[in-house]
Chains A and B, each alone.
Chain A
Amino acid sequence: MSHSFDDISQQLKRRHRKSARLKWISMGALGLAGLFLLLFFADMLNKGLPAFQQAYVNTEINYTEEAARDARQAIPDDLVAIVSRTEIRSIPLQMRNNENLLGTSEQRWLLVNGEVDQYLKGNRNSLSEEERTAIDERVESGQVELAFNRTFFTEGDSKTSERAGILAAVVGTVMTMIVTLAISFPIGVMTAVYLEEFAPDNRITQAIEININNLAAIPSILFGLLGLAIFINFFGVPRSSPLAGGMTLALMTLPVIIISTRAALRSVPDSIRHAAFGVGCSRWQVVRDHVLPLAMPGIMTGSIIGLAQAMGETAPLIIVGMVAFIPDVGASFTEAATVMPAQIFTWAGEPEAAFVEKTAGGILVLLAVLISLNAFAVLLRKKFERRW
């Protein structure tokens, strides 16, 4: 029996409606995800951008004998309540370091304390009504003003919010990542090369493969416990150090690198291997001269993404003691250090309002670094991508 077009389109209408519905649902899901992302970024920028600004006060500093004993004597009395305590405390130290200062005076921009800073930014603060009007007057006269916050990028952590910076955490992150990469990249790539190019396909290699895939799914805090037990307690690696943290994160990054390297090796067509074997390459020459160069972009991308993941990790580092108050920028791999997410975690726990913006500011810096790393990975892939 034949069907007329009318019969068929009647039936088709229902099917078309169904696919249209599905399309709207999936587009809705995408839109919702996009909305959340937008909200998140807007909130972070709103909270975090003020952290890149800081209030400064222009004041006269008198390096007198009294100031060497009581630093508060160095600045005008009415400014003592405004200037940051850490700035005042550092005056006698400066005098001790430079004896020529004694008896001189100078005009300088000093950090303002956190409460005044927050008032100027319109945030919650504990200033009284008179103090507020006094500060308003100084702003009017140009003695107090908001400017770019250099301290945030040039200092380590501090107990006073105006002096707290992210540099120590950035340097700690870089050193930790160097250790992580130096350990996990060669081991991960060579493991993948062995499994993919050399290993026979038997029970043992299958078991290894399953376990590597499982490792990638293990909660990261367990890697922290492993790091504590093995590296710190057994091998005596100094705790809180980039070495301990980097080794722990290397364990976590290994499965990611192995899995992505294997995928990259598998995507190299067999015809290239056959060609190389055909001209008399040994297995190692096939891998080194032909397969690895072709797989390199994929390997690099996977490693960078694994590294970015490790960079955002906090839990295992809590266990190895890298979440700590670190005021000084680290100089060696065995000194105590902290990393960016750990610094954000520390700031998030501070009660003062001024630390809320530091937290958001830290997140912005971390996000910027992560996004540029991922963008770099994409660029690398595009640049070295080859067609066969």
Chain B
Amino acid sequence: MNSQAPIMSEQDTPSVGQPYTRNEQACHDLSIRVRDLSLWYGKNQALKNLNIDLFQKNVTALIGPSGCGKSTFLRCLNRMNDLIPSVRTEGLVEMDGHDVNAVKMDEVALRRRVGMVFQKPNPFPKSIFENVAYAPRMHDMVSRKAEQDELVEKALRDAGLWEEVKDKLQEPGTSLSGGQQQRLCIARAIAVQPDVILMDEPTSALDPISTATIEDLMDRLKEKFTIVTVTHNMQQAARVADYTAFFHLGEIIEYNDTKVMFSTPAKKKTEDYISGRYG
């Protein structure tokens, strides 16, 4: 396949922004397919006919100016928008051949497969151990104490936090530093072994060193998980993302392989944004 040729999904041809592949191996399996997704807050349309394919075991970054709908879109993927009473959505968000907005789709089941990390670190006001162990126990993933300990250790290791906290697992999660708290939240999300992890500006509340740690972590986590991250930081998108989608006023202007997008953007708007002319 030509490295500049777009990959099209078999069923249909989205109107904008098919991603280009970087190389042959990067032609990945589909994780989430979004077609004609629109969303309204009351009478205000926040997302307009979005079409995008998200690929497995990749980092996809969503960039764009404030209020462009990237966080709203992210929350569509695990139906967190359901918590806002005035929200109405239309269109298809498909995962594993299932419409996640279908009536018979249980949002609890969905959120078990699509975990989330929030902008501000929000560990439960419980011990570090409990923060990680709570969800697996709730989902009946562990039956014995030893299993639980093992799972907690594994999740904390995967989140790169184990060495720092192994001697103080019973201390409150809120006693950690901001960057550690965010990694604890990541450990909490991966403890239930989801397929997808959504990250809503995970480093915007952190210092540069903690940010770098989280970015390294994302790089390692994509071997196991599909990561979709919202970021305000263009350099971050360029550093961590395999694919990048540029949002503007509720539309996806361009979606492409990150390297291609940052070197040769196809649209004028994208170029203006990534070169810092607005946003």
Contacts and interface: CB of A to CB of B under 8 A. Distances in A.
Interface of A: 200-201, 269, 271-282, 285, 289-290, 294, 386-388
A279 B189 contact: yes
B244 to A, nearest CB: 24
B124 A278 contact: no
A278 B111 contact: yes
Contacts of B138: 279-281, 285, 289
Given A275-B118, A294-B125, A386-B125, A280 B135 contact: yes
A10 B129 CA distance: 65
A100 B111 CA distance: 82
B80 A274 contact: yes
Nearest to B113: A280
A279 B80 contact: no
B78 A275 contact: no
A277 B134 CA distance: 12
A388 B174 contact: yes
Interface in B66-86: 78, 80, 83, 85
A337 to B, nearest CB: 43
12 contacts: A200-B85, A272-B122, A274-B80, A274-B116, A277-B83, A278-B117, A279-B111, A279-B134, A279-B188, A280-B192, A281-B108, A290-B124
A171 B229 CA distance: 63
A282 B124 CA distance: 16
B112 A280 contact: yes
Nearest to B121: A271
Contacts of B117: 278
B141 to A, nearest CB: 11
A280 B185 contact: no
B111 A277 contact: yes
B64 interface: no
Contacts of A277: 80, 83, 111
Contacts of B125: 272, 294, 386, 388
Interface residues of B, number: 26
A289 B135 CA distance: 11
A280 B108 contact: yes
Contact of A272 (B78, B80, B124, B139): B124
Nearest to A294: B125
Contacts, number: 63
A275 B139 contact: no
B118 A279 contact: no
Given A272-B124, A285-B138, A387-B174, A278 B85 contact: no
A388 B78 CA distance: 25
Nearest to A387: B174
B134 A274 contact: no
A279 B123 CA distance: 11
Given A279-B112, A281-B135, 20 more contacts: A201-B85, A269-B122, A271-B122, A272-B125, A274-B80, A277-B111, A278-B78, A278-B116, A278-B117, A278-B189, A279-B111, A279-B115, A279-B135, A279-B189, A280-B112, A280-B135, A282-B108, A289-B138, A386-B125, A388-B125
A290 B80 CA distance: 17
Contacts of B109: 280
Contact of A275 (B83, B123, B192): B123
Nearest to A200: B85
A271 B173 CA distance: 14
A279 B116 CA distance: 7
B120 interface: yes
Nearest to A285: B138
A123 to B, nearest CB: 58
Nearest to B111: A280
Contacts of A285: 138
Nearest to B83: A277
B80 A278 contact: yes
Contacts of B116: 274, 278
A277 B110 CA distance: 11
A384 to B, nearest CB: 11
Contacts of B189: 278-279
Contacts of A272: 122, 124-125
Contacts of A269: 122
Interface in B96-112: 108-109, 111-112
Contacts of B120: 271
A281 B109 CA distance: 9
Given A272-B124, A294-B125, A388-B125, A278 B83 contact: no
Given A200-B85, A387-B174, A274 B111 contact: no
A202 to B, nearest CB: 9
A289 B134 contact: yes
Contacts of B118: 271, 274-275, 278
Nearest to B198: A278
A280 B124 CA distance: 14
A118 B110 CA distance: 79
B124 A275 contact: yes
Interface string B160-200: 00000000000000100000000001001100100000000
Residue of B109, B116, B120 most packed against chain A (CB within 10 A): B116
A273 B124 CA distance: 9
